[in-house]
Structure formats: C-alpha cells, structure tokens
Structure 1
Amino acid sequence: MPGFSVDTKLFRELGELLVGRESTALVELIKNAYDADATEVTILGEGIAKPNGRIIVTDNGVGMTKTEFTEGFLRIAGRSKLGADRRSPWFQRRYTGEKGVGRLAAHKLARVVKIISRRWNGKDRDPVGGFPADEIIDAAINWDKIEALDTINEIETSDAISLNSDSSLGRSSGTTLTLSPLRKQWTERDREQFVDEVATLTPPEVVVGPLRSTVTAAPPLFDKLNVRDELRPGGFQVSYAGDLTLSESELPAEAESASWIIEIDCDKDKRRLRISVLPTRKTQAEFTNAESFVLNRKLEETDPSVGFQARLFQMSNGQWPKRYQGVRVYFEGFRVLPYGDTRDDWLQLDRDYRSRGHTELGRLRKRTGWDLPVGNDKEMLAIQGNTAFFGAVLITRSGADELEMLVNREGFIPGKQFDFITETVRLAIDLQVRLRYAATSEVKQARQITRDRQQRAAQRAASGQAPTAYNLRELHEVARQSLNNARLAISTGRAEDAEAEFVQLEENLLSAVELGDEVISEATMFRVVASLGLEHAAFIHEVRSLSLSAQTLSDALESIARGVADETVAKRLRAIAADARQLRERLRRNAIYLADVTGIEGRRRRSRQALRERVERVLGFFENAIKRRSAVVDIDIPANLQTPPLFPAELVAILSNLLSNAIKFMGDKGRIRIASETGNGSFRLRIENTGDKVDPQNSDRWFEPFRSTTTSIDEALGQGMGLGLTITRSLVDEYGGTIRFVLPSAGYATAIEVEFPRT
C-alpha cells in the first residue's frame, strides 16, 4: 500500500527554518539542559576559527536513558514536553521547549554531535554533588552520513547513528554534547556577535536582584523579581569558556548609574496593575523637586488575562554600554530575540525620539481618568531612544499561556497578550518621561536664568571688572534707588507707592544675599589657592634668576671650551653648555607662563585673546611631561580664532587645569586633541584624551572640591588637590558658560567641553 517517504534533506531544511542563527541554536541546547533540571551549563569553544573546531556543552542535569534518547532526543517534534502543566522531575520547572525541535540546533552548528549522558537514578539530589546516576549512554549522530542517504527510513540500517549504554555507579548525572567539526569557521566578527547576543541570555542580576537602599529613597515595588516558574528554587547559571569566553562586562556593577528606575507588576490572578517610577538618589540630589509616582489600578474587563514583571533603568545624560542597551524580553528566564537588539524598536522609542515635538504624550493624555501627574505640552521633547534604557520584561508560561514563539524561535506571534505587554511597558516609560520633564524643566530654567544674568553682566561690566562684581554693584544701586523712592513716597503721603518700593527693595536684597552666598561659599576654598598663588608669584623671580644663571653658566662653559686643547674635553663642555641653554629656555618659558597666571596684567582687564597662541604657551609649560610620555598632541584651532572677552589669567587657569588633567590620565604614548569652534552665538573648547575613561553620566562629582583622583606625585605635574575642575567651573560660570564631560570621539576615552557665549 503506498505511503509517504521523507528525504533526509528534511533535517537541513528544518534546521534552517527553525533555528535562525548560531546563538539561537546554542540557546536551544541550553534550554534543553534547563528542562533537564541542570543548575550549571558550560559552553566551551575550542579552535572555532579552524576547520576542525568544536563546541562542547556540558550540564549537570538528570541526563537520559537509552530509551529516552531514542524516543525523545531522536524524535523530531516529539510530544514529551506537551501538556497542561508539564514540569521537570526535580525542580518542577515549566518546560521551555515544547516543539521538540531543540536537537536540530545541533545540526545547525556542526556536522557531527557526540552525546555522553549519565541518567539520574531517582534518589534525592545532593546539594553539592548533584543527582546520583546509575546508567550512562554514549551516542553519536553524523549528519553528513544521514544526508548522504535518500530517505530517513534508511537511517536505522546505516551507521549514521550509534548508541551504547552501560551502568554508571559513583558518578553524578549530566549530559555532554560535543559538536565537531563545526559547519563554519567562526570569524572574530561571528564571535563578537555571538558574545553580544548571549551576554544577556539570562537577565543580569543587577536588574532582577534586590536594590540597595543607596539607590532610591522610596522603596521599590520588588525585593526580587520572579524570573522563571519553578516550584523548587534551584538557580541556573551559564558559563562560557575557551574561545567563547565573555570579555569583562562593561555593565556598571551598581544600579546607582541609573537616573530613574521603572518597575511594573501585572498580577494575572488579582487582575491588578502596578507601575512605579522612582528617581534615584543621584537624581534627587541634582533635582530636589524630582518626585516618584506609583500607579495602582484594577485591570479593565477588556484587558487580556496576562501577568508579567519588569524593571528598567533609565540614564538621562548618557548611554548604557552597547551590549546592554535596550529593553529585553525574557520567557521563563531566557531572552527572546530580537527584542532589545540594536536595530529592534519593539517599543517604538527610537521612532518617537526622531519625530518628537512640542506636544503632550498621547498615551497619557488618553488616560485622563487615571489621576496621573499633570502633563505639559513640551514633555515629548524629553523622550529618549533605546540607548538610554537598560532592563528586562519577565514573562512566564503560567503568566502568559497564549504566547507562542515564531517558528524560527525569534519573537512571539502577534496576539492580545503580547500587545498588552508592549503597551503597558511603553506606558510606564512615558510616565517616567513626564516625571523627568517636570523635575528638570524648572531646574534647567533656573540655571538658564543664572547663565543669562552672568552673560548680561559680562557684556556690561567694564574690562577690569568681574561680572559677579558688576552684578553686586548693580543690585546695590537698584536697592539704593528703591530706598530713596520709598523715602520720597513716605514724605508725600503715598503709602502704597512706598510699600511697593519696599517690596522691590526686599527682592533685590534677597538676590544680593544669594549672589553673595555663591561667592562666600567659594571663599574658604579659594583662600587656600590664593595663598599658594602668592608663593607662586614670588617664585617667578626665582625662576627668572635661575634662567639668567643658566645662561651665564652656558656662556662660561662655551668660553672655557674655546680655550681647551683637548677636543674630547671641549666637546663635552660644549654639550654641557647646550644643556644649560636648554634649561635656561625651559625656565624662561615657565616664567612667562607663571607671569600670565599671577601677574598684574593677567587680571587687569578683560580682552579677546588668540586661543591657539595661549594653548601653545600653556603646553610649553607641560612640554617635559608630554615628552616623557611619548604623547601626541593635536591642536585643531584656527590661528585667527579669538576667545570672548576674558581676563588672561582666567583663560590660562582654565587651559592649565584641563590640559594637566588630560596629560595625567592619557597614559603612555597617549593622544590629546584640542579643538575649538564658534557658531550659534557660542564659543566652544573641547579637549579629548586617551587613557582613563570618565562616564559623562556620573561626572558631576569630579567638579566637587577636593575630588582629586591623583594618588601619586608626578615629577612634572605634582599631586592634584582636587580643586582644578572646581575652580574651572567657577570661572566658566562667571561668564554664564557651561563645562561638562561629553561623549568622546572615536579613538578617545574622555572628552570635556567648555562653552562660552560668543558676545
């Protein structure tokens, strides 16, 4: 009677269809180990860039018997894991693989797979030694031999599959898969892509673990998130070794790197949704009016029955490391591709970031009955893309029983449950955008008012007057005028006018007090620096005297050399004279530099100055330190570019502080780039260096007094006091400018940018 026959090419076709990429294939093998109650899995790569490379997957699960291997592992699309609530034998885990196609992952990776599996004997598991075993199987599948046959009916009588079994006493159970030779030689790019994809195969502990009390002032929703559905907790760890060893993680070890923390708890049984948006302590220190918000609502009857949890970290002025950017989705503790990939925008954050405009967030506007924080018609300007978020959405089979994977194991089939999850996560992010905009807009407005005040003062003050001194004098004059007006109003019986003048007088006095407090708060710190400056100024005379002495010594040595008959001695004397001349030149340059900083002319009047010339003069002071480090300094400043009106001593101090830091931390054979440009009414100076990194997101602390990072004394640069950046910011603030660490250009580790108003 006629029937179907199946060509062996089916394995190749199914493998390509059901297992999209190498990382997906390994994930399927890791899931098999998880379903087998393993707590540890190791992925070892050996010679993967060579023709006979191999990957070895080892776990400590319950293993397989001969029967389980033939009826389970060798049966494509088997039913062993199907059922209403099928779970693993010991930890009672919900099975992650339900289509019986995981073994095709072995076909995707290699031409031959060898299996050694020791089967658990059913006795209690030892917490240290694992499951005791009583049977071992040794099997191999040669995919090339299988595909050389015509139909799968011929496999049983061929030698394409081998299987032997024996007793195994005194050993722990577990399975080892050896995949070799690999179907392709892995390039470095293949390896890097694999590492990027599996680095977040399971959710990082920083996301799902308890948050320290140092992160947020308000309590979070969760102590620890529910990662997977297992009735007996056992833990699950994946390690990578050999050629597949993961490089040291770029992920910040502390949640304090975040600006805001978003948490979601959707309880399927209670039909309740909770969303928490919390500012971190760092954000509250910068924006004292930053507020937290917790939404607690009963789900609507029309909402699907679904449960999940999520925790997201948001970064306001920076990006998370590339490997961890984006919001990832985890199903039973394993990442579901492609959600959160670099080019994946499943939450439409990148789309909205590109098209943001002056409007209120639409999702929140539609929920006017939810008692949400008040919106603003400019809040959408604060939307950020995927790079500003790092986090996990955790789904279990019991929480979302209708979710089904696509056939290639990458993504879920569209449906009501996943649509609800997507919309809820995005709603939570929009709440964070609203709260962040409300917290920062007021502070930014106040800072802008201060900058505008200083800019106006810089334009109006005399060339020999500091902008802050001008502001204080102006407030004094306005207050004096208000007092005279009040006296006149009282003398003529106009009580209301007098009261109005007194109100104005009080406001001006308060402004003067605030401005005075800003100056006084720096006074103690600057007295220390001023005392050093006096010694510095006196030292200039010593330097000049030493310079003249070096020149006299050089001339004397040259004179003696001319009278010496022995040419060898004369040559040596002339060499010493040359060293003395070089010493004299270095002392002369340093004296000029010190005079620029401490001399009377340097602080007598403000003027526009040739920036490149000033930079080169300051670099001359650090010439010896630069040479000792074999460093390269690139100056990308037009010769005719002039600064805004500044005191020369101020400009030299700014350049000295920034360049000395760049030189200290660039490392040996490092590079420094100094660039400047004008445009849009501003003047910008940017200094970049190799070596040590500074995270722009966490850089504000380096502007605090006495925050020196220098622990050793440099021969040329000395040991930092921790005041350089503090003083520099004060000088920049004086003119209504800004100074901040920014993301560096390619090839550099750190960048700092100073911006002044052009006028």
Structure 2
Amino acid sequence: MSSIFKNFTVDAGLLRELGERLVGRPEVALAELVKNGYDADASEVVISFSDDSIAVSDNGSGMSEEEFERFWLRVGTTHKQIDRFSDSGRELTGSKGVGRLAVQFLGTGVELISRKIGEAGFRASVDWEEAVSSGDLVSAKAELYLGAADESIAGRYPHGTLVRVTGLKRSWDSELLKNLARELWFLQPPEVHGHGLPIKNGLRVILEGVSDKEYGEFDAQMRSALDNWIAVISGTLEHGVDGEEVEICVEFQDGQRFKQKFAPSAKFLDKALYRIYVYKLSHRQKSGVKVKTARDYFREFGGVHIYDGGFRLPFYGGGDQDWLRLEYDHSHRLNKSQLLPAELQVSSGLNDLPTNGRIFGWVQISTAHERIRAEVEASDGDSRVASGEYLNVQVTRDRLIDNQAFSVLRDIVRWGIDFYAMRSYERKQIRIAQEKLEIPVTTKERSKIREMLFQLSLKSPTKLHDEIEAVTEQFERLESLELTRQKAINSERILLAALATSGMAAIAMEHELGKELTVLENIVAKLDAGVPVSAPEMRSAVINWSNRTGRARKLFSPVMTAHDREEYKPYKAWRVISQIVDNSEALLREVEVDVSGVPKNMILPNATVAAWNAVFQNVIINAVNAMINSDRRSIFCEGLVDGKKHFIHVMDTGVGVSLLDSDELFKPFVRRLEIPEERKALGLGGMGMGLTIVKMVADSIGCGVSFVEPRLGYKTSFRIEWTVE
C-alpha cells in the first residue's frame, strides 16, 4: 500500500480569532504595542489619536526588511525566548510572538514604517479584512515598500518604528481613553511614579490627542492614596531554586518592624520581589482624599499586581481579581493561616486579613530568568523545562501558567500578608492590654476643680458662700477617698507584681526540680526492683534535691511572710539588692552580680521587700538574658546621689538597647531581645512582661524608671530614681 503526505492548512480567520481572544481589551492592545517599543530599546513611545487612526511611534532600534519578514510577519515566533535580552540589556517582554495581533484587534488596516539604525527604512501595510478573506493563512499578504521611509519616524525620531492602525473598530470615547490612561499608569511598577519596586531603563509614554486633565487627575489621586498607608509588606526571594529562604519584613507606620525568613514549599521559583501597602480606609485621609474616593479607587485598582520583566500582566490586581484568595478567605471568616507555622500565629489573627480593596501592591518576577534557570538545570539532568514546571506566561502574554511555580509565587506573597495580619492583630491586643493596665491620673483634674471652686467663691454673692464652702468640703472628702483608693490600688498592684515575679520563678524552678525528681524516681524504681543502690549515689541525689529545694525556697521568700509582703519600710539599698541577688541564684546562670557600687548608707523609698524583689529580680533576669551570647558576662550595680535626686543603675554587657525608643520596652508584651526557646520554656523571659512589672511597681512607690547611657565597658544601664525631700 502506498502513502502520500498532505499539508495542514490554517484558515486566515484565525488571525481575527486570535486577536480578539488573546488581547481581549483595546487598552491592553495598545499596551502591547508600547511593550514592542520597550523591547526595541526605545526610551520614548508616543501614542497619537486622529479621527480614524491610532499611531504608536517609538525611538527604538527599528527593524530591517529581513527582520520584518522573519519576525513580524510570522505569528508565533519564539526568537524572544531564545534571545531574552535586547541589545541594551533590557529583558524582553514577549516570548510567544502574538503581540502584533493587537493591531488586528484595534482596526482593519495597519501601516508600519521602520528604520534600523544606520540602514534605509521601509514601509509596509496590511489590510486585515483582505488577509482574512484570503481563506488560507499562508496566502495572507503584506505590501512592502523598500526605501520608502527616508524621513524621520513620525517627524521626530531618526530611527525607530511607527505603527498606524486604521479603520478603527470602535470609537475611542472618553471612557475608553480614561481606561487607556489608567492602563498606561499601571504599565510599569509605580516606582516610576515615586513608589515601590525598582525597575531599570524606565520607558516614557506620551499620550497625544488626549486631555492631560484626565491622566493628571488620576495620577494625583493615586499618588495621594498611596501616601496614606498604615503598613507595608516586603518580600524578597533570591536563588530560591538553590534552597535560599524568603525574607519578609512588615513595617507599620509608627516604625515598628517585624522580620522573618521561611523556606518556600518547593524549589520551583528562583527570584521574586514584592511590596504591598496596606490602608485603613476610614476616618479622615491625608492629602484631603475623601474616604469614599479612596475606597472607590482601591476597589477598582487595588489588590496585588504582577509585573513580568518590568511590565504589568493585566489580569492580576484590580477589580474582581482574587489570585491570592484574600476575598475568599475573608468571606469564609478564616482566623488561622494555612501557611504560617504555629509559633507565628495568634488566636483569631486572620481577623486582620486585608481584602483587595484595602491593599495596593506589586510583585516583580522575570519569566525569562526563570526559563534560563530551568534550562541550566536541564543541562544537569533536571526535567523542569520538559514538564513546564517553571514560571511562564500563557500564549496570551497576560496570564501565568497555573503550575507549581505559580503556586509557590502565590504562597510566598500570601505568606507575607498572613504574617502582617497576625502582627497587626497582635499589636491591637497589646494596646488593649496596655490600656487595661493604665490607671487614670486624676491629680490635674482635681486641681482644676479646686481652682474653679475658689474663683467661683470670689465672684459669687455672699449668700452663696456657705453653699460653695459646703461643696468644697464635699470635694475635699472625695479627694481623701480618692487618695485612699489610689493607695489601695498601688498596694494591690505591688502584691500582684510580686506574685507574678514569683510565679515566673516557680515555672523556672519546676524545670530545675524536675531533674532531681527524675533522679529520685529512678532510685525508687531500682529499690522496688531489688536493685542495690550505693550509698554515695543515694547521698548525692538527696543532697542535690535538698540544695535545689533550698534555692527554690529562697526565690519565694519575699512573698512567704506577711512582713515581707506588707511592711512598708525605708530599707537599705545595698542590703536589699544583695539579698535579692542571693535569692535569685538559681536563675542567674552563674553570672556574678557586683553590688559594690551601691553605697552602704543609701536608703530606698518606703516599700515592701516583695516590691523591691519584683523590681530588681526582673531587671537582673532581663540582664542575664541579654548576655546569653556575650563573651563577657558581667552585671554591676551602683548608687548615685545628685542633690535630692537618688539613682540606682543596673548595668550589663549584653546586646544593649536603643535609647531613642527605650520607653516602649516598659509596655506590656513589647520585646526587642530574642530569647532562646529553651530559656522561654523555663519562664525566663520572652513574653515582654518583666519590665512592665518593674514600671508598675515603680509607679506605685513614686519612682521613675528608664534606660540611660551606660558607663564604659557596659552595653545597657537600667535606672531607677526617686527624690528625697
């Protein structure tokens, strides 16, 4: 049996079908032509409108007649996949060879004029209606006129390309022009507008024949809206295929930062960079932006946009695009992240998950780089190129292929947003806790009322003096009751602080005593089994148990007796601090505490032993934690007198603190020192409550606390001060 071969044929109508389906929107079609100028190393692209045509001209490198025939007339060329970078080093934005179909989507005819640097120009024209009616795609033709472009391109450039679309398929009314202006605004990352991700070789796009007002108003509104952020989320992945981690930073408007690293779920993505701004679209906005206006803008243009090689992929971010599933998770009221590890989550933390209408962000990727990286691996036997498991765009040039690489990209961006939500919710809970611990001070208000009563008595008629005097007496009784109440509250606060300090010590000692208990239980098990236990072994176990029990009793001694808990006395500073150091031996990790700098005759303000124990034990444990990784571990205490002012300093050689915002460290749950997990497990720091207890006690006994500049050789100096009348 003989066989013969037949060729496939392609209907020319496919041109129309591809143009309509692959481009989709007229403003996107024009953006595709702008990208072609970028790929040609243009620094400027001009879009001009007339009654029945649109012209897009650029000052790029231009095309030769041969390049026009080889590349422009061939639908689906892949030369940009092979070359990937322009002559000047720009990353090429196209790779599928279908961008030129944008002109067919816009109109029925196209005229192209191009001149390559140092060569003669040419002119070509295509009648799309005639091309489609030819029936067979390979029969569709373009008219080419060699040497017909000797003058400048569009009357302004010595080289470059002009594409003029004629027979427009739709009227470019104000709404369509508005959409075009906005599409061009988003075309490159907003760094071009003073925000965000870096981009090399920025491209200037000029819109002629369109009022500057529309674009200007939109630009001004977006700039103003972008300045009103409450937090910014940044993420960086470099060399992800080699196993490097993603670096995340969440910065709030008050300057507080949270940093974290994590490993992506798989090694399918090599590089990505993103920045996302979070907004609170309520109350008065900065720059006079109306809340409703801001909400409308972010509802339409918010979300997280993706930029490939410096240009936006139009179907990510804005409108109803929810590629990060923020709206979905928000509507399902999820309160636990599916991505964050347990130690980074807080209960109900995803309650602060922002919707797309409250964020504006951009992700910078490079599908060209990802393919290069995949090909490098392929040479070593990796199969990611063959399987397509690398970040790549679909034929449409506007959507990424939904593969494992895209899943990794989505996860690392969503990880950062979830991390923000947890930290935001945690900050709110901390503020609530701080407010609960604060007791309103009524001194100023009472003084104002006394002054008002006095002034009223001077101005009022004589017959009202007795009534004003009666009110004044009632107010004085009320003041007396307030002082009594304040004193009782202070006593309760001191007792609670002392008990909390002992409680944290108890957790630590439970771990220590647990070791000895295990030894004793092993001895009992041996005895029960008839296994002989030597006298030295028994003696050692009992002595260790006795020593640890004794150290535990010393830790709790300040709250064991009513005298130490309740007796307010002016104790000697040196004696009290020395006793606290001795009692805290079990928690000091063999760090020596030198109290020789405290004068033997310095007297502390009236307070209980339990109160001073809560202050100095917490300060000393804080210092010990700060020196865990220090080569030299030393704590020095000194007492100073300056007139009526008395000071005690506790200095250490740890990591130090920033004096600019050290007051924040006395607030609940605020911590700057990373405590090792095993140390946290012992109850020895990490919760951010130790210095809060210190300040609460100090406030209750009329002392001030702060961090000050330490003496030479030390990194941190805690100060407690009081005035002696």
- TM-score for both structures, normalised by structure 2: 0.53
Instruction: Report the CA distance shift for 1:483/1:178 in structure 2 as closer, same or farther (over 3 A).
Output: closer
Corresponding residue for residue 147 of structure 2: 165
Instruction: Report the CA distance shift for 1:446/1:101 in structure 2 as closer, same or farther (over 3 A).
Output: same
Instruction: Tell me by how many angstroms 1:40 deviates.
Output: 1.4
Give per-residue Cα distances to partners, 1:138-158, cap 9 Å, x unaligned: 2211112223333345445xx
1:251 is paired with a residue whose SS is helix
Quick check: 1:36 aligned with 2:37?
no
Corresponding residue for residue 125 of structure 2: 140
Distance 1:484 1:268 in 2: 61
Instruction: Tell me by how many angstroms 1:430 deviates.
Output: 0.9
Q: Which amino acid aligns with 1:426?
A: R
Distance 2:245 2:123 in 1: 51
Corresponding residue for residue 18 of structure 1: 22
Instruction: Tell me by how many angstroms 1:499 deviates.
Output: 5.1
Tell which structure's C-alpha radius of gyration is larger. 2
Instruction: Report the CA distance shift for 1:7/1:485 in structure 2 as closer, same or farther (over 3 A).
Output: closer
Distance 1:384 1:473 in 2: 52
Corresponding residue for residue 204 of structure 2: 237
Quick check: 1:414 aligned with 2:402?
yes
2:75 is paired with a residue whose SS is coil
Instruction: Report the CA distance shift for 1:296/1:473 in structure 2 as closer, same or farther (over 3 A).
Output: farther
Q: Which amino acid aligns with 1:165?
A: G
Instruction: Report the CA distance shift for 1:473/1:17 in structure 2 as closer, same or farther (over 3 A).
Output: farther
Corresponding residue for residue 380 of structure 1: 350
Instruction: Tell me by how many angstroms 1:443 deviates.
Output: 2.2
Instruction: Report the CA distance shift for 1:427/1:400 in structure 2 as closer, same or farther (over 3 A).
Output: same
Which of residues 261, 266, 272 in structure 2 aligns to 1:308?
Answer: 272
Indicate conservation of the 8 Å contact 2:98/2:396, yes or no.
Answer: no
Quick check: 1:438 aligned with 2:426?
yes
Indicate conservation of the 8 Å contact 1:46/1:243, yes or no.
Answer: no
Which of residues 125, 131, 134 in structure 2 aligns to 1:149?
Answer: 134
Corresponding residue for residue 573 of structure 2: none
Indicate conservation of the 8 Å contact 2:251/2:258, yes or no.
Answer: no
1:194 is paired with a residue whose SS is helix
Corresponding residue for residue 262 of structure 1: 233
Q: What's the % identity of the aligned pairs?
A: 26
Indicate conservation of the 8 Å contact 2:304/2:317, yes or no.
Answer: yes
Corresponding residue for residue 526 of structure 1: none
Instruction: Tell me by how many angstroms 1:21 deviates.
Output: 1.6
Structure 2 gaps of 5+ residues are: 283-293, 372-389, 454-471, 492-561, 570-605, 612-725
Distance 2:489 2:236 in 1: 63
Indicate conservation of the 8 Å contact 2:237/2:271, yes or no.
Answer: yes
Distance 1:388 1:484 in 2: 47
Distance 1:117 1:163 in 2: 11
Instruction: Tell me by how many angstroms 1:31 deviates.
Output: 1.8
Distance 1:243 1:268 in 2: 44
Instruction: Report the CA distance shift for 1:251/1:173 in structure 2 as closer, same or farther (over 3 A).
Output: same
Distance 1:37 1:305 in 2: 28
Instruction: Tell me by how many angstroms 1:60 deviates.
Output: 0.9
Indicate conservation of the 8 Å contact 2:269/2:391, yes or no.
Answer: no
Instruction: Tell me by how many angstroms 1:415 deviates.
Output: 0.8
Which of residues 250, 257, 267 in structure 2 aligns to 1:292?
Answer: 257
Instruction: Report the CA distance shift for 1:497/1:165 in structure 2 as closer, same or farther (over 3 A).
Output: closer
Instruction: Report the CA distance shift for 1:195/1:97 in structure 2 as closer, same or farther (over 3 A).
Output: same
Indicate conservation of the 8 Å contact 1:59/1:175, yes or no.
Answer: yes
Structure 1 gaps of 5+ residues are: 122-133, 211-224, 228-232, 285-290, 488-493, 508-759
Which of residues 362, 370, 376 in structure 2 aligns to 1:400?
Answer: 370
Corresponding residue for residue 600 of structure 1: none
Corresponding residue for residue 363 of structure 1: 339
- TM-score for both structures, normalised by structure 1: 0.51
1:30 is paired with a residue whose SS is helix
1:26 is paired with a residue whose SS is helix
Distance 2:186 2:56 in 1: 18
Considering only aligned residues, what root-mean-square deviation do their CA atoms show, in Å? 4.1
Give per-residue Cα distances to partners, 1:251-272, cap 9 Å, x unaligned: 2359652211211110126532
Which of residues 231, 254, 277 in structure 1 aligns to 2:249?
Answer: 277
Q: Which moved more, 1:385-394 or 1:183-192?
A: 183-192
Instruction: Tell me by how many angstroms 1:410 deviates.
Output: 3.1
Corresponding residue for residue 59 of structure 1: 58
Q: Which amino acid aligns with 1:120?
A: I
Instruction: Tell me by how many angstroms 1:295 deviates.
Output: 1.8
Q: Which amino acid aligns with 2:34?
A: I
Corresponding residue for residue 328 of structure 2: 351
Indicate conservation of the 8 Å contact 2:96/2:397, yes or no.
Answer: no
Distance 2:171 2:123 in 1: 27
1:11 is paired with a residue whose SS is helix
1:298-337 counterparts in 2 under 5 A? Answer: 302-318=266-282, 321-322=297-298, 324-337=301-314
1:68 is paired with a residue whose SS is helix
1:241-640 counterparts in 2 under 5 A? Answer: 241-243=208-210, 246-248=215-217, 249=219, 250-252=221-223, 256-268=227-239, 271-280=243-252, 282-284=253-255, 291-297=256-262, 302-318=266-282, 321-322=297-298, 324-356=301-333, 359-364=335-340, 367-368=341-342, 372=344, 375-401=345-371, 402-444=390-432, 476-480=480-484
